[in-house]
A and B are shown apart, each in its own frame.
Chain A
């Protein structure tokens, strides 16, 4: 006959804690009910950690009967409990411990009964129990334990069976609680409970409790991508002429992410209700957008809707000295009307209370008549929800940065490449790549964090549109010419975050003034310049500054008009239709004309402009 002694009980809880902690981000990611604030995993861990911390203080734990140890478990779990599932879990442990009250060691029968008592206590602690939550998983697990207690030959077989039942129940939670299904998750607290049991079973089987990969937070990216896709779809279906391309990458990005999420939980045989959602995504096209909009909206709403009660209030209520135990029922009637999601965990001399409310102060005032209030904790759940669902700076800043540049001309492409551009989008003659071409570049680059240099005013808009259609984290540096883009690229520091780089690079844009020499394609009167078709014109921005019949003279004249007292460097980039000899002669002339300014000459090879001349 196998027993669980005090030492083993501690090891089991400790294993449950370690395993849950490894998986706590997965649990956080499922946290949509009752309030999507992404902390279920953390809160449940806090409850278990508090137990482990107390048990670790005991020397020679095996000299202490299980009954004594369980008392410590009961109190410490209550003290460490935070959040809805945390307090429910602590109440479960309280009942569980009561069940072991007078035991020296635990038989499987004792264990089954203790689990049952834990489940009963957990239900009792909640003001209005909801099915499809951790409560359901606890109850079904306890039920299974009672049924198999006599047939189990070993503790590990016992755990194997109750874990199986726990997982089956967890997988049914979306059927019981509709919001879970809409959000595409199973219940987070229930999932945490499953991981605790799974950790215990792994310990019994001697399996490792180490997790190889630390899981990243998934929900925020998922929801943000959904929002983009829905916005796009709405825009595309309502404004006929605005359809640029199928948002394939968004669809694919979402499907990939959904597949990743589904896969990582399926390792533990936990199946998220994502089939319907993935099906809608794969069948989606613009002519049949209704399904996508309704599914997506439901999902986004499940995560984004603000809870009606804003604050999560927790406190401990102690009996007045020498006074009687405070009745849980009386307390409940006093506070119930002032909020929801009330959970009350009771111990011998105090109660731990958790409730969601808009008026925490009022509740504290009400209950302070009944006993002494301590350990008050108030969290703003609106803020927590926002933080949970926003892409944090952390998501933005870590990792390598890819640089995408729009460029025209062989020379320019080489220059940008030599300064570390990861991908060059061919701007061709007119510097007007399509949104699709830009998007292709974004998707092709290996990095998730990307800086995009459009290098032309016309490209800026398409660049921003492309950014709105990708799941990657792209920041646009609004460079209007290639020399501006180059100047900003020089300020790039691979060790800065995306945000810091954007700031530094934008600052360098202003350093450069770019002059452009091209041919007029039609006759035009601009200010006091009468320009004929075929004339060469010198531009700065959209401003025509000079004109003439010879592009060399126009270039020289343009340069002299761009130069100021502070200018220190002139760079000439000659274009496709200019011969090197001519470029060199312009170089010498400019050098001669401005002996105090450094002049450099490069082959840009741009197609549209004979010369690009930057002054800085």
Chain B
């Protein structure tokens, strides 16, 4: 039996098939829409969140409580497993990290908490990679060591047509510099370089220009790491399959890569950037 359990938060878009295949344990994220609380994946779906947004509502996330996490961790510990928890960047949700720490202290089991410095696809790549080598039977310390190696090599970039959601969600970070314009433009932001927060890349006039810019940035990152291959791409989108498919085409044309997935954003990944946003996370080989 596999000795190490990989736990990560829900809401980024992993499909059931992937979760089962890699044996990843998810804990749900609480989501608020107009003061009503839901649990991601249990009583709300990304489509419902999008619908609320199109109606002009601004959904928000909250953090799981230590007790919620204890409920997830405890059965695994009782089975005699070590746990590696891969969390959304603490720069975007410090409360989750705090809750995980408290739960871990409370339980006193063998739990390693990892700040992925990422969100959405970036967090998923790290969780998937950890789960993959856990399945191969690697020890906890080996997995942790490996994960710490790929965290700095994992970045994500997004085209976000309306920065209002990030702004109201309190997660706009330095990308605030891209707000406000007299024209229809799409701001491009990134979560990269281990910063764990949203930083500005630039603006573009339309989807294809955003995708061009994304390709440019990834090329620069490859140069920086003196690498020539991307291990995994995870393309995500909130009700913008067209943009995601165009991005897929652009990435295929420009890069040598291992895996590529297109996954609609989960609830959490939808709440932050809002409708019509899309983007890609990539891990440099």
Contacts and interface: CB of A to CB of B under 8 A. Distances in A.
A493 B202 contact: yes
A495 B183 contact: no
Q: For chain B, what secondary structure do more than half of its interface residues adopt (helix, strand, loop), or is it mixed?
A: mixed
Contacts of A492: 202
Contacts of A264: none
A404 B51 CA distance: 42
Interface string B210-240: 0000000000000000000000000000000
Contacts of A504: 202
B200 interface: yes
A297 B63 CA distance: 68
Interface stretch (A211-219, A285-293, A414-422, A451-459): A414-422
Interface stretch (B18-26, B159-167, B174-182, B250-258): B174-182
B104 interface: no
Nearest to B206: A569
B208 A568 contact: yes
Contacts of B260: none
Contacts of B185: 490
A504 B201 CA distance: 11
Nearest to B203: A490
Interface in A465-511: 487, 490-495, 504, 511
A418 B181 contact: yes
Given A414-B182, A418-B180, A490 B206 contact: no
Contacts of B206: 568-569, 598
A490 B182 contact: no
Interface string B170-212: 0000100100111111000000000000011111111011000
Contacts of B177: 420, 494
B199 A602 contact: no
B208 A419 contact: no
B208 A490 contact: no
Given A420-B177, A490-B204, A494-B177, A600 B199 contact: no
A414 to B, nearest CB: 5
Nearest to A616: B205
Interface size for chain A: under 10, 10 to 19, 20 to 34, or 35 or more residues? 20 to 34
B274 to A, nearest CB: 20
Interface size for chain B: under 10, 10 to 19, 20 to 34, or 35 or more residues? 10 to 19
Contacts of A490: 185, 202-205
B182 A418 contact: yes
B203 A602 contact: no
Contacts of A418: 180-183
Contacts of A569: 205-206, 209
Nearest to A602: B183
A498 to B, nearest CB: 15
Contacts of A511: 209
A600 B203 contact: no
A508 to B, nearest CB: 9
Nearest to B201: A493
A494 B177 CA distance: 7
A191 B183 CA distance: 58
Most chain B C-beta atoms within 10 Å of own C-beta, residue among A490, A491, A493, A602: A490
A495 B189 CA distance: 12
Contacts of A419: 181-182, 203
Contacts of A411: 182
Nearest to A487: B205
A511 B209 CA distance: 10
Most chain B C-beta atoms within 10 Å of own C-beta, residue among A414, A415, A493, A571: A493
B176 to A, nearest CB: 10
Given A419-B203, A568-B208, A569-B205, A495 B174 contact: yes
Contacts of B181: 415, 418-419
Contacts of A600: 183-184, 205
Contacts of A491: 202-203
Q: Give the top 7 A-B pairs by smallest Cβ distance, nearest first.
A: A418-B182, A490-B203, A415-B182, A418-B181, A494-B177, A491-B202, A569-B206
Given A415-B183, A490-B205, A602-B183, 14 more contacts: A414-B182, A415-B182, A418-B181, A418-B183, A420-B177, A493-B202, A494-B177, A495-B199, A495-B200, A504-B202, A569-B205, A569-B206, A600-B205, A602-B182
